[in-house]
Chain A
Amino acid sequence: MTKTNRTILLSLLVLAGMASPAWAQAAKSELTVALSSFSAETVDPALQGHNVKYYLSLMFDYLVGTTPEGQPSQAGGLASKWESSADHKRWTFHLRRGVKFHDGTEMTSEDVKFSLQRAMGKRSTTGYAGPLRTLIADIETPAPDRVVIVTKEPTLIIPTYLSRSLSTEGIVLPKKYIETNGDDVFARKPVGTGPYKFVEQVVGSHIKMTAVDNHWRIGVPKYKNVTFRLVPEETTRIALLRRGEVDVADVSRERVKELEKEGFPIHMRKEEAIIHAWWILGPDGRTPPTNDKRVREALNLAIDRGEIAQSIFGGYAEPAAIPMGLTWAFKDVGFKVTPDMMYAYDPARAKKLLADAGLAGGFSLDVYAFQLPGFPEGKAFAEAIAGYWEKIGVKSKLIPVDYPAFRKMWVDRKAPGAVGYYNIANRDWIGAYALLEKQGYTPSKLNDTVNDPEVDGMLAQVMRQTDREKINALMRNVYTRLRSEHHGLPIVFVHSPYAASKTLGKWNPGSVMYDLFLDELARK
């Protein structure tokens, strides 16, 4: 080889060497998200859609969009604006034009009507199918870009119920594709209008999707491919993050400090949920001893919420004060949590209250211990509160189960007085009302945890109200009463950490539970 050739070759190699970082960056077109649980894992939004929005929100669009903080937004949904009639019984949604499904067909009001009917149909197992079924009288399609939802009663809840912040009834699906190919094919090869197209799913392992060329909401997606991986073991998720094999991983609160020290950005979703415990009702309501208000108060006072927040939740939690109370809803309805509403840690007073109730010798209490998605500390948490109760003379028996078994005991009302808990997603006032209607309203039978006629009366009125002022006042009264009657054990609001790779860049994951707003991340 001549000297010149050698020099040229050398220079080329050097240039190649210098150029490779840039090349490597451009090749960063894959986004991989590792999650500890996929929950239902179905890709058909009508099936168990209530907690798998991570990947559904990338493949589908909702009728009504939301901001990352869960407020309805005209920018994020297929409806660019909506309004109601004066009597709040007719809701008109104006749809965007020119939105195409992944199979090329155009989205029209017929698709919206079809999707909503399908979500309310017999096969659907979505979160709010029931209430919507009772509420919606008819769906009209006066024009390809207009849908009118007619309700039986005047109501304000329609837009929120069809938005991204609650469940999946608002997802718009292709009528022609589903009618031609059937539900089974759709469940295997779903088609939507979202920025990413479904590629493949291996149940229990991963879901892959690839970007469309251009999306009405986020433009040209930044990542060519997005993969969701199911990695149940935390050590493995973190190892994958360290190796750069995943870009986003959910981590437990106890490992945040370790990762922060190594320089991994931690995105904290503030007040994502409230950890709320309650006593299971018997077939006819509360049973002794928790039917005595003093006992309920005592059990609340015995728990050191500050210590729990600092230790079990690693400091990423705030004490909560209102049973079933959600901070976003408080803002919406103007409810202020004053210092005297916070439960003090007062075991002495708790013991006195028990003595007043005639239980100076203590009593037995069953505490169910289980883990939940997004709440890995579940069992430790149950042990902790059982420990606190032991200290005031309440013999707490830990019953380890998994969540389906607990749910069965709860719904069948076979274990009256036993304690269970859940991490309830934070929501705006409509979502909060939906929660109260599920869990605080006696006619809801199976899931009620309150059984209080006064609360029932107030909630029934909210249902029929369309005047925001009156609704706000009613909701404030509901919360006040829930607190004064100690209708539950509000423990803490938790912040949920998601660790990201160092090269991920700016990302606001929002605070809507089960939705990571990854499409915002994919926006260039």
Chain B
Amino acid sequence: MVRFVLFRLLQSLIALAILSVVVFVLARATGDPLHMILPMNASAEDYANARAYLGLDRPYLQQYLSFVGRAVTGDFGTSIRARRPVSELLRERLPNSLRLATFAMGVSLAIAFPLGVMAAVHKGTGVDRAAQIVAVLGQSLPTFWVAIVLVEFVAGRLQWLPAGGADSLASYVLPGFTLGWFVVAGMMRLLRSGMLEVLDSEYVKLARLKGVAERKVVWVHALKNALIPVVTFAGIYFAILVTTAIVVETVFAWPGLGRLAYDGITSRDFPVIQAVVLVTAILVAGVNLCVDCVYALIDPRIRYAR
């Protein structure tokens, strides 16, 4: 088992290394950040000066090595636009993204659980159908549209909740709901199919024969077993929530990682682009690794099918 983990870790690191090259190239392909920071009447000499000052005139290989060398120590360079260390910007923004993702996760689970259990228990009936539709609805509307409608009506007109920013707990509700609703469908499906499997199993049949109350069968025995895949996938969902929150962050003016990436890309800020993509990749890779390890624990076939 330990060998498996170590091996996967090594492979993940290799994947990250490949990714670092890809993101380095992509970032520089976006264009020239100097067009944004130099004024309109800058001369060719001004451009040369700025390039030298920012270290952008070094050969690409040197720039790449310097980038990777420092990234390993957590130093992602200086933002060309903000002229501040990128790690500082990350420190300001990453916790916000994590917090929002956690809240959204909570919302998503709170909705998916009852839906999934109900759908499984009343399989094939109208309740099952209705639950499925409600869950899928969250995936059938563009996130920004849901967000804007909520801001306009719930925050602006009815004024029940804050419209933007990350100041109070109340300000988590609308963006958290918008973000969370999107993944409800997946969670609910997992829960439902997991429950269906368990409810059909020998174990449950035995419990029923033994006279255990139906409610206990469902909520205690079945749910416990159905939760395993959900819990493992929850980690993946969390990573998705962190990395795809850019739309929600834009609408709700939430100072998170997604918006940092957007600002970085639009101002061709290489260090920021590189840093955000790498951090996101590390997060997702880390979660994937954990999930694979858990599954390897459960199902030995995967461990050896290399």
Contacts and interface: CB of A to CB of B under 8 A. Distances in A.
B39 A125 contact: yes
A229 to B, nearest CB: 7
Nearest to B96: A205
Interface in B48-96: 49-50, 53, 79, 81-84, 89, 92-93
A123 interface: yes
B137 to A, nearest CB: 22
Contacts of B44: 445-446
B151 A40 contact: no
A355 interface: no
Interface stretch (B2-10, B20-28, B156-164): B156-164
27 contacts: A42-B82, A42-B83, A48-B37, A48-B81, A125-B42, A127-B41, A128-B41, A130-B42, A130-B46, A202-B255, A204-B89, A204-B255, A204-B260, A205-B92, A230-B253, A231-B253, A235-B151, A240-B163, A242-B157, A404-B33, A404-B266, A404-B267, A407-B35, A437-B41, A438-B41, A445-B43, A446-B43
B37 A127 contact: no
A402 B156 contact: no
A232 interface: yes
A238 B156 contact: yes
A131 B35 contact: no
A130 B43 contact: yes
Contacts of A203: 79, 82, 84, 89, 92, 260
A229 B165 contact: yes
Interface in A267-311: none
A243 interface: yes
A236 B252 contact: yes
B279 interface: no
Select the residue from A125, A242, A405, A439 with max chain B CB neighbours within 10 A.
A125
B37 A239 contact: no
A243 B159 contact: yes
A35 to B, nearest CB: 11
Interface in A138-167: 167
Contacts of B43: 130, 445-446
B156 A447 contact: no
B275 to A, nearest CB: 13
Contact of B163 (A130, A202, A205, A245): A245
Contact of A408 (B31, B92, B157): B31
A36 B106 CA distance: 31
Contacts of A240: 163-164
Given A131-B41, A408-B32, A408-B35, A232 B159 contact: no
Contact of A239 (B41, B151, B250): B151
Nearest to A402: B266
Nearest to A183: B83
Given A229-B253, A408-B31, 15 more contacts: A40-B81, A125-B37, A125-B42, A127-B39, A129-B39, A202-B92, A204-B89, A204-B93, A206-B255, A233-B250, A235-B148, A235-B152, A238-B156, A239-B152, A408-B32
A472 B252 CA distance: 50
A235 B92 CA distance: 25
Contacts of A444: 41
B38 A233 contact: no
Interface of A: 40-42, 44, 47-48, 50, 122-123, 125-131, 167, 187-188, 202-206, 229-233, 235-236, 238-240, 242-243, 245, 402, 404-405, 407-408, 411, 437-439, 444-447
Contacts of A245: 162-165
A41 B166 CA distance: 19
Nearest to B265: A402
A493 B74 CA distance: 49
A206 B254 CA distance: 11
B16 interface: no
B41 A235 contact: no
Interface in B140-189: 148, 151-152, 155-157, 159, 162-166
Interface of B: 31-33, 35-44, 46, 49-50, 53, 79, 81-84, 89, 92-93, 148, 151-152, 155-157, 159, 162-166, 250-253, 255, 259-260, 263, 266-268
A446 B39 CA distance: 12
A499 to B, nearest CB: 13
Contacts of A47: 37, 83
B49 A122 contact: yes
B35 A205 contact: no
A87 to B, nearest CB: 27
Contacts of A125: 37-39, 42, 46, 50
Given A130-B42, A245-B163, A232 B151 contact: no
Contacts of B255: 202, 204-206
Contacts of A167: 39
B79 to A, nearest CB: 8
Select the residue from A130, A206, A233, A447 with max chain B CB neighbours within 10 A.
A233
Nearest to B41: A438
Select the residue from B31, B163, B165, B267 with max chain A CB neighbours within 10 A.
B163
A520 B251 CA distance: 31
B253 A236 contact: yes
A126 B44 CA distance: 15
A429 B183 CA distance: 58
A414 to B, nearest CB: 12
A373 to B, nearest CB: 12
Contacts of B267: 404
A127 B41 CA distance: 7
B92 to A, nearest CB: 5
Contact of A41 (B50, B81, B159): B81
Given A41-B81, A122-B49, A202-B92, A438 B40 contact: yes
A204 B79 CA distance: 13
B84 A187 contact: yes
Contact of B164 (A50, A127, A231, A408): A231
Contacts of A411: 35
A239 B165 CA distance: 12
A204 B84 contact: no
Contacts of A239: 151-152, 155-156, 163-164
A202 B195 CA distance: 46
A236 B163 contact: yes
Nearest to B268: A404
Contact of A243 (B31, B93, B155, B266): B155
A205 B253 contact: yes
A169 to B, nearest CB: 11
A411 B31 CA distance: 13
A292 B166 CA distance: 56
Given A402-B266, A408-B31, A236 B151 contact: yes
Select the residue from B40, B43, B250, B267 with max chain A CB neighbours within 10 A.
B40
A437 B43 CA distance: 13
A408 B268 CA distance: 12
Contacts of B163: 236, 239-240, 243, 245
B37 A40 contact: yes
Nearest to B92: A202
Nearest to B164: A236
Contacts of B252: 233, 236
B41 A447 contact: yes
Given A236-B151, A239-B155, A41 B82 contact: yes
Q: Which 5 A-B pairs have the closest CB atoms?
A: A239-B156, A205-B255, A239-B163, A438-B41, A231-B253
